[in-house]
């Protein structure tokens, strides 16, 4: 699923950023975008974790010239195609920026806009794909969760075309709990996102974290995967348990309530504060629509044999990758992963709804 979900994610972000139809799902022409971004992100992540490695940046730049150039070309092509049309021709990111951000006349045509556009396409395109892949992986490994989610979706909607980003869909509590539990178990921002108290900040008061004074210029970071597996906040943290995100069924003791609030505070897949994810609402809407529509139209199962094991941990490994039921992801600012391999069988209702023959 990894490729397919990424093509979908990038198609969506191409539309919402520049009203541009990249059509990765049906046409191979621009599929290099997801692969090139993945390779470049791995390099950026290495520099983030080992800043001294940037000493060899020139060599890396030379080795990645082809990839960087073709990404730059396609993003420029999207920008030019959009700029040739009326500002309000689409309800997209471009129409908003063009009208509202006063960065000077050259900003869009030259300036930093291309860098921001590249960032937006990768930030908005791949993390939702990771959640979609992770969620289907967990549904296949926890059949009782699959059954419960399928029941919720199929009872709530009488046709697949009724599923859209509205309050009806957002009211699917179990779907939301499954998405949150996937974001907890397998957060797409898997790397440590470093922060630094700016040396030039006018506010010279010391930064204190957990009683430790952090001098200006020192980088601090918290790894989301570690936090989301801290047993103090998330007991039995390697088990996929969407129930932990559902409202309590019975009155809680004070202790239970305090533990639930603490857990909610420790759940930060989009980070918190001024530099947290700008696309959080969009991400929930996108993942909810894709998962709900898929489960409405299709019965899903894992591929047979070895193929169906893609994405699982391997028992006996001593590096933490031994859990069969944990979706394996690889450290990057937007995680890399493979699989799962799934079989989708259209339901009879799907044929009728889509108006196609069996
Ligand atoms: C499940 C999906 C997503 C997750 C888990 C996620 C997570 C994050 C995180 C952790 C950051 C902070 C990165 C940092 O500070 O270094 C971030 C930033 C950002 N995200 Fe997302 N994101 C998701 C989807 C999206 C989507 C769909 C969009 C846009 C359509 C988007 C746009 C952005 C932007 C523009 C920023 C930068 C915000 C800033 O620096 O002010 N994200 N995201």
DSSP 177-196: HHHHHHHHHS-S--S---EE
Q: What is the pLDDT of residues 308-344, one digit of tens each?
A: 999 999 999 999 999 999 999 998 888 999 999 999 9
**Among candidate residues 298, 251, 48, 323, the one with its CA nearest the CA of residue 149:** 298
Could you tell me where the beta strands, DSSP code E, fall in 176-309?
A: 195-196, 207-209, 212-214, 219-220, 298-302
Q: Is the CB of 42 under 6 A from ligand 1?
A: no
State residue 277's pLDDT score.
95
Q: What is the CB neighbour count within 10 angstroms for residue 306?
A: 8
d(CA 153, CA 46) in angstroms, rounded, equals 41
Strand ranges (E), 148-246: 195-196, 207-209, 212-214, 219-220
How much distance in Å is there from the Cα of 189 to the middle of ligand 1? 9
**pLDDT value, residue 105:** 56
Split into its structural domains, the chain has a count of: 1
Q: Answer whether 188 contacts ligand 1 (Cβ < 6 A).
A: yes
Task: Give the confidence band of 206 by pLDDT, cuts at 50, 70, 90.
Answer: confident
User: Is any atom of ligand 1 closer than 6 Å to the C-beta of 97?
Assistant: no
The values of phi and psi at residue 247, to 5°, are -60, 145
Which two tokens mark 261? Answer: 């609030």
Q: How far apart are CA 153 and CA 349, in angstroms?
A: 13
For a ligand 1 pocket test, name from 277, 290, 334 the mutation site with the most ligand atoms within 8 angstroms of its C-beta. 277
pLDDT tens digits for 294-311?
999 999 999 999 999 999
The ipTM, to two decimals, is 0.98
CB 342, CB 331: distance < 8 Å: no
Q: Is the pLDDT of residue 114 over 90?
A: no
284 Cα to the center of ligand 1, angstroms: 12
Least confident of 25-39, 138-152, 159-173, 200-214: 200-214
Annotated binding site for heme: 277
326, part of any domain: yes
Query: What pLDDT band is residue 247 in, cutting at 50, 70 and 90?
Result: very high
190: Cβ below 6 Å to ligand 1?
no
Q: Is residue 72 part of a domain?
A: yes
Contact status, residue 75 vs residue 15, Cβ threshold 8 Å: no
- At 111, the pLDDT band (50, 70, 90 cuts) reads low
Which of the listed residues 123, 133, 184 should we mutate to test ligand 1's pocket, taking the one with most ligand atoms within 8 A of CB? 123
Task: State what percent of residues in the chain have pLDDT above 90.
Answer: 65
For residue 161, tell me if it sits in a domain.
yes
Residue 339 has a pLDDT of 95
> Is residue 205, in this structure, part of any structural domain at all?
no
Task: State the pLDDT confidence band at 28, using cuts at 50, 70 and 90.
Answer: very high
For residue 195, is it within any domain?
Answer: no
Tell me the residue length of the chain.
Answer: 358
Does any domain span residue 199? no
pLDDT of 61 > 90? The answer is: no
Whole-number pLDDT of residue 261: 96
Range of the domain at 30: 2-189+223-354
CATH number of the domain where residue 74 is located: 1.10.630.10
Give the position of tokens 């974790």.
49
Choose among 156, 176, 185, 165: nearest CA to 246. Answer: 176
328 lies in some domain: yes
Is the pLDDT reported for residue 153 higher than 90?
A: yes
pLDDT at 99: 67
- CA 10, 27, 19 angle in degrees (round to 5)? 45
Judged by average pLDDT, the poorest of 6-20, 66-80, 111-125, 156-170 is: 111-125
**Closest ligand 1 atom to 93 CA:** 30
Q: Is 357 a residue whose pLDDT tops 80?
A: no
């Amino acid at each position: 699923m990894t490729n397919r979900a990424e093509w979908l994610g990038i198609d969506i972000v191409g539309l919402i950023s520049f009203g541009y139809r990249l059509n990765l799902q049906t046409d191979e022409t621009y599929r290099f975008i997801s692969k090139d971004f993945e390779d470049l992100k791995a390099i950026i992540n290495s520099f983030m974790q080992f800043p001294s490695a940037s000493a060899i940046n020139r060599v890396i730049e030379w080795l990645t010239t082809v990839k960087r150039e073709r990404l730059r070309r396609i993003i420029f092509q999207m920008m030019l195609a959009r700029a040739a049309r009326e500002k309000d021709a689409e309800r997209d990111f471009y129409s908003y920026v063009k009208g509202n951000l006063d960065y000077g006349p050259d900003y869009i045509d030259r300036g930093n806009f291309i860098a921001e556009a590249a960032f937006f396409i990768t930030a908005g395109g791949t993390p939702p794909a990771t959640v979609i892949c992770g969620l289907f992986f967990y549904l296949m490994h926890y059949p009782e969760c699959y059954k419960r989610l399928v029941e919720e979706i199929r009872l709530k909607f009488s046709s697949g075309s009724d599923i859209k980003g509205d309050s009806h869909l957002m009211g699917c509590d179990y779907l939301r709990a499954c998405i949150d539990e996937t974001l907890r178990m397998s957060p797409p921002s898997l790397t440590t996102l470093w922060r630094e108290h700016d040396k030039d900040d006018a506010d010279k008061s010391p930064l204190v974290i957990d009683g430790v004074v952090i001098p200006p210029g020192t980088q601090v970071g918290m790894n989301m995967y570690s936090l989301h597996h801290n047993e103090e906040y998330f007991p039995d943290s390697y088990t996929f348990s969407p129930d932990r995100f559902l409202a309590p069924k019975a009155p809680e003791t004070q202790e239970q309530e305090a533990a639930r609030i603490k857990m909610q505070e420790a759940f930060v897949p989009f980070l918190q504060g001024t530099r947290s994810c700008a696309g959080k609402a969009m991400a929930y809407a996108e993942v909810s629509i894709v998962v709900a529509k898929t489960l409405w139209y299709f019965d899903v199962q894992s591929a047979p044999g070895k193929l169906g094991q893609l994405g699982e941990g391997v028992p006996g490994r001593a590096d933490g990758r031994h859990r069969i039921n944990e979706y394996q992801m690889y450290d990057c600012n937007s995680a890399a992963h493979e699989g799962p391999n799934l079989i989708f069988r259209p339901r009879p209702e799907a044929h009728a709804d889509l108006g196609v023959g069996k």
